[in-house]
Amino acid sequence: MLSINEIKQLVKLVDESSLTEFEYETEQGKIKMRKGGELVSPTVSAPVVQAVLPAPKVETEETPTPAAAPTEDFHVVTSPMVGTFYGSPNPESPAFVEPGSVVTVKSVVCIIEAMKLLNEVEADVNGEIVEVLVSNGELVEFGQPLFKVRKK
């Protein structure tokens, strides 16, 4: 389970972000925070036990199999951190990339905001953006796919 200091850091991160809800779950327990008005209240609950574990695992294993074949043709740019995804430098600017955009290894493809810091994410391959997999302002996790890129 998270320490009190880690929980305080999470509360501060959620409070300072544009998020209105945050949930973190491990085998030891679950933390759920909702922001409404001026307060952010962490709720810590006992471990969650699911009665039907085998069925979702079977579905999860079957789902990536068909998706794995198209992914082989494309490179996937993933999020290097947890934060908020922004496709442009500011709301008035056009997106860094969109489907059809040509990128190089050092092309900035998006910004991930984490703890009030704006972190540029660069394409790690030369190619063409095929698909943007997340929406502007969406919370992303470490390793979450952001873009599909056709290698050139």
CATH architecture of 70-151: Beta Barrel (2.40)
Q: Give tens-digit pLDDT for 24-59.
A: 777 667 777 776 644 444 455 555 444 444 544 444
* Residue ranges in 27-136 assigned as alpha helix (H): 54-62, 64-73
Structure tokens at 38: 């001026």
Neighbours of 140 (CB within 10 A): 23
- Which residues in the chain are classed under CATH 2.40.50.100? 70-151
Q: How far apart are the first and last CA of the chain?
A: 45
* 148 vs 127: CA distance, rounded Å: 10
* 133 vs 74: CA distance, rounded Å: 13
The structure's pTM equals 0.53
Q: What is the reported pLDDT for 33?
A: 74
